[in-house]
Amino acid sequence: MAAGRFLHLLLRGTYSHFDGKMSVEKQKFLTVAPFKCVWREELRFKEAGRGCVAFEAFAQNDVTLVFREQVGSQHYHYKMDNNPNYTIIFGSHRNRRLKIEASGKTVVDVAGVGLCSSAFQSYWISIYDGLISIGKGKYPFQNLVFEWHDSEPNFNVQYIGLSSWDKHVGYRNISILHMPSHHNALWSHIDYKDYEGEDDEDDGLENVNDNLGKWGLLNFLENWDLADVLFEVGTERKVIPAHKVILSSTGDFSLGSTDENVIELPSTSYPVLHSFLEFIYIGRTQIVEWQLGPLQELSLQFKVIALVKQCEEIMDRFRKNKKLFDSGKKVEIINLSSQVRQFGIFPCEVPLDVGKLKHFLATGEHSDIKIHIEDHGLVVQSHKLILSLWSAPFAKMFTNGMVESSSSDIYLKDVPAEAFWVMIQFMYSGVLEMDITEMGPILIPLLLLADQFGVFVLQRECCKRVMECLSEDIVCTILQAVSSIQSYKLLEETCKRNFAMHFDYCTTASTEFVLLDEATFREILLHADMTVTSEEKVLDAILLWCMQACKVFGWATVDDLLISSTTEQIFGERFQSIFLLLPFVRFPLMPLFLLEKLEDSRLSNQIPMFGDLVKEAIQYSGGIKMPEVSQNIRFQHRHSSYKELQYICDGDKNGVIYFAGTSYGEHAWKITLTASSPASRYTDSKALVSRTYQATSFAGPRIEDGHSSAWWMVDIGHDHQLMCNYYTLRQDGSSTYIRSWAFQGSVDGKNWTDLRVHNDDQTICRSGQFASWPVIGPMALLPFRFFRVILTGPASGDPNVWNLCICFIELYGYFI
């Protein structure tokens, strides 16, 4: 009977829809002179550390935006700024590169991205807790071109400066947008109107309007979609739909009536109920003053305490100052309760008690949908409305007349249950509550689920987590997962760049890269930041990929296989790919002795293109002029190439420290050495690079992580990296010989990777002795900025067994 009455009232309702169109006001035209920076009080984020600026600019190069904690001075320029800031430069290096600086330190420098235009072009930059996203086009969060996450984010940047380098830069249509992490689709509703301003830098800039319009629960306010409770109000018994999960998250609506799906309010007028529901659904409302009393009584009835308090405070002000009272005037009421947050990382700002929502998820209270996954059974009892707030596919499933619209059960196939449960939890809290170590196994399935169900905020959070833990060991796995998904293009491009910059490691540590599709592998081979130690490595990788090899080997092994097999048999279905990929090997950069070996190989004899490319390279090496050499990439050195500094003998002059210290008259960088103990007469970093024998030279012990250790650390500079494959130490004049230690590398000087570990190594056994060790395996192919030798056990001999007694260190490998 109760269900029948609810259905009867439901059929009396009508559907309503919401048009979420928005507009954003713009700043006037502005020209910035060379080496200047313009600041305006209006050019600031509403919330420190979070915001988005969209603008148009034209310049030959160096469209530059500075983000600071305070407004810059009249003569400010970012090159002279010693305070925390982010500086983003479009078209740096004569319009060839995109550059990001964090407090003066270059953290991003990529070619061919974010370039300038001689005509006005639209750009946008968003900053969200250190995650900097950059794109082109007038709609933020569309057409992303680059993203970088600061591992030590500045949460206080707020003011925006418009700057330049050596040319004038024109700016116009500057919009500052508040960024509460709404659905990405929200931005596509922004209505940009054509604007023509005056070229007058002295004109005051117009105020920025960051009114992003209504979104989210407003769509469901008094909407019959997914309604599971009805109000009958007034003597006319007007029927108003609502949703139990929303109502119960703000008050107590369990009245114990015979029909809990219908709430009768004969003495309440519709305007009062409308304001009541509006406050619950969107956190604010307006009501005429004389209706405050009935609104307070209704709030008390259902224990919506935040609204009760607001009504009491407003009425108290009227009692104290009767002049304020105007029976026809509307009063605005805003939810300011500390227990009910405007949840910035929800898909919309909704005034819901997240603690209650999580309780409803855990208990299944008020649930109207049971979700089953094949081979896992019932996974969760959820709420259609909550899922619909986050996911357009779920919203369509529940509201467009599909079978799921009327069913209380849905059955999913080919869905990873653990990742799905994490996604559901995220929908109820807006937070990924697992740390990165726990998320490891499910991070990629979660990425794919977020795309499948259109949970854009989760996509962004997952991408952020992936960026934080991105390494050469997982880049191939991520590329396989996201290469066909348009919404992850930015992540895909980041992974391709990571692969290209660590090409040697990614193609020798395992054969996982052979699972990449041809288009992805080809783009890596053509990447502007491709970094390899030799073109032989590129040749080996192409042959392995075409063979779909299960283990790593070089071209010589492939050549031996041709004794008993044909090329078609060896390369199988990828045989034709050989002819597409071989031209990407820059044979002319190979040494002549290697080219002569390749010329005599079976590969040259059985693959005509291979032989032709090798012969061309030999002719080039012999000084024969080749047509159109300057236009052919095969004859050009790669943008990022390592200098080979290889070990020959102990104490030689081929190492990185000697190379950087003498600079061969060409460079100005320097190497920094530090010790675990304070500098002193016998702990002098200069001694280790002086190449002069020292009778006493040591790094003393310090306590780290509860253990005693001593170390010497080398920093080769923020613009340089080394793939270290050998290192040399020299004992000082003491008899304290190291026995157990580790040689380590680091990108940031904080997180260390063991390159070689020594346990009870007896190599050093006399004063002044040199000793050298190779770094072997995949670790020799990882580039690092920082290196250190650290004791892991006591030394022998002298009572000071935790002193690291060396007077010389040298590193070798591939240096950039």
Judge whether 654 lies within some domain: yes
Residue 713 and residue 769 in one domain: yes
More confident residue, 196 or 371: 371
Judge whether 208 lies within some domain: no
CATH number, domain containing residue 438: 3.30.710.10
C-beta of residue 5 within 8 angstroms of C-beta of residue 257: no
The token pair at 136 is: 């082109």
CATH number, domain containing residue 713: 2.60.120.260
More confident residue, 76 or 766: 766
What's the pLDDT at 641? 64
Helices (H), 238-391: 244-248, 270-282, 292-301, 305-320, 354-363, 384-390
Residue 483 and residue 601 in one domain: yes
What's the pLDDT at 88? 95
Distance CA 147, CA 126 (A): 10
Judge whether 189 lies within some domain: no
The token pair at 62 is: 């160096």
Distance CA 689, CA 673 (A): 9
The pLDDT-based confidence of 515 (bands split at 50, 70, 90) is very high
Distance CA 698, CA 679 (A): 10
Residue 710 and residue 797 in one domain: yes
The pLDDT-based confidence of 259 (bands split at 50, 70, 90) is low
Whether the predicted model's global pTM rises above the 0.85 cut: no
On the question of pLDDT at 325 being above 70, the answer is no
Residue 37 and residue 70 in one domain: yes
Distance CA 245, CA 384 (A): 10
C-beta of residue 785 within 8 angstroms of C-beta of residue 746: yes
Backbone angles phi, psi at 275, to 5 degrees: -65, -40
Q: Which of 419, 454, 469 is the last residue of a domain?
A: 469
Distance CA 679, CA 707 (A): 21
CB atoms within 10 A of CB 94: 12
- Tell me, what DSSP letter sits at residue 209? -
The token pair at 783 is: 């580039």
C-beta of residue 597 within 8 angstroms of C-beta of residue 636: no
Residue 522 and residue 609 in one domain: yes
Total count of residues recorded for the chain? 816
C-beta of residue 640 within 8 angstroms of C-beta of residue 531: yes
Distance CA 688, CA 808 (A): 4
What is the per-residue pLDDT across 333-362, written as a single tens digit (0 to 9) for each? Answer: 887 653 444 344 454 455 677 888 899 999
Of the candidates 138, 131, 124, the one whose C-alpha atom is nearest the C-alpha of residue 155 is: 131
User: DSSP secondary structure string, 766-807?
Assistant: STT-EEEEE--GGGGG--BSEEEEEESS--BSSS-TT-EEEE
| Count: domains in the chain | 5
The token pair at 752 is: 């260390």
Distance CA 429, CA 121 (A): 38
Residue 444 and residue 556 in one domain: no
Mean pLDDT check: name the lowest of 12-16, 39-43, 154-158, 222-226.
12-16
Mean pLDDT check: name the lowest of 97-106, 384-393, 703-712.
703-712
Q: Is 214 helix (H, G, I), strand (E, B) or coil?
A: coil
What's the pLDDT at 706? 78
On the question of pLDDT at 518 being above 50, the answer is yes
What's the pLDDT at 338? 38
What is the per-residue pLDDT across 450-471, written as a single tens digit (0 to 9) for each? Answer: 989 988 888 888 888 887 778 8
- With 0-12 / 13-18 / 19 or more C-beta atoms within 10 angstroms meaning exposed / middle / buried, residue 808 is buried
Distances (CA, A) of 735 to 226, 790, 803, 806, 809: 81, 18, 11, 11, 18
More confident residue, 111 or 596: 596
Element holding 466 (H helix, E strand) = helix 456-469
Residue 452 and residue 483 in one domain: no
Judge whether 310 lies within some domain: yes
What is the per-residue pLDDT across 538-550, written as a single tens digit (0 to 9) for each? Answer: 999 999 999 999 9
Distance CA 252, CA 491 (A): 45
Provide the domain limits for residue 557.
476-635
Judge whether 296 lies within some domain: yes
CB atoms within 10 A of CB 813: 25
Judge whether 588 lies within some domain: yes
The pLDDT-based confidence of 33 (bands split at 50, 70, 90) is confident
Backbone angles phi, psi at 519, to 5 degrees: -60, -45
Distance CA 90, CA 108 (A): 12
What's the pLDDT at 554? 93
Q: Can you tell me which residue has the tokens 């059929």?
A: 11
Judge whether 487 lies within some domain: yes
What is the per-residue pLDDT across 602-661, written as a single tens digit (0 to 9) for each? Answer: 999 999 999 999 998 888 876 666 555 555 666 677 765 677 888 999 988 889 888 876
What is the per-residue pLDDT across 684-699, written as a single tens digit (0 to 9) for each? Answer: 888 888 888 888 889 9
What's the pLDDT at 20? 32
Q: Is 450 helix (H, G, I), strand (E, B) or coil?
A: helix
Q: What angle separates helix 417-429 from helix 354-363, to the nearest 10 degrees?
A: 150
Of the candidates 674, 806, 792, 703, the one whose C-alpha atom is nearest the C-alpha of residue 742 is: 792
Q: Work out the average pLDDT over 262-288.
A: 90
Q: Work out the average pLDDT over 726-740.
A: 92
What's the pLDDT at 772? 94
Mean pLDDT check: name the lowest of 123-137, 148-162, 430-444.
430-444
User: DSSP secondary structure string, 715-764?
Assistant: E--TT--EEEEEEEEEE-SSS-B--SEEEEEESSSSSEEEEEEESS----
Residue 303 and residue 436 in one domain: no
What's the pLDDT at 24? 37
Distance CA 466, CA 479 (A): 12
What's the pLDDT at 185? 35
Q: Which of 115, 148, 177 is the last residue of a domain?
A: 177
Q: What is the pLDDT of the chain when averaged over all its residues?
A: 82
CB atoms within 10 A of CB 567: 18
With b meaning 16 or more CB within 10 Å and e meaning fewer, what string describes 27-55?
A: bbbbbbeeebbbbbeebbbeeebbbbbbb
Residue 480 and residue 592 in one domain: yes
Task: Count CA atoms within 13 Å of residue 260 on its CB side.
Answer: 10
What's the pLDDT at 419? 92
Residue 282 and residue 299 in one domain: yes
- Tell me, what DSSP letter sits at residue 366? T
Residue 615 and residue 511 in one domain: yes
Residue 206 CA from chain centroid, whole number: 33
Distance CA 352, CA 249 (A): 6
Q: Which of 128, 157, 177 is the last residue of a domain?
A: 177
Element holding 547 (H helix, E strand) = helix 535-547
Q: Which of 20-24, 71-75, 550-554 has the largest mean confidence?
A: 550-554
On the question of pLDDT at 731 being above 70, the answer is yes
Q: Can you tell me which residue has the tokens 């790919």?
A: 577
Distance CA 751, CA 791 (A): 17
Start-to-end C-alpha separation, the chain: 79
Which residue type occupies 292?
A: L
Judge whether 513 lies within some domain: yes
Distance CA 471, CA 477 (A): 11
More confident residue, 177 or 525: 525
Task: Count CA atoms within 13 Å of residue 465 on its CB side.
Answer: 23
Residue 330 and residue 403 in one domain: no
The token pair at 586 is: 């820059």
Distance CA 614, CA 590 (A): 10
Q: Can you tell me which residue has the tokens 């991003």?
A: 108
Q: Is 368 helix (H, G, I), strand (E, B) or coil?
A: coil
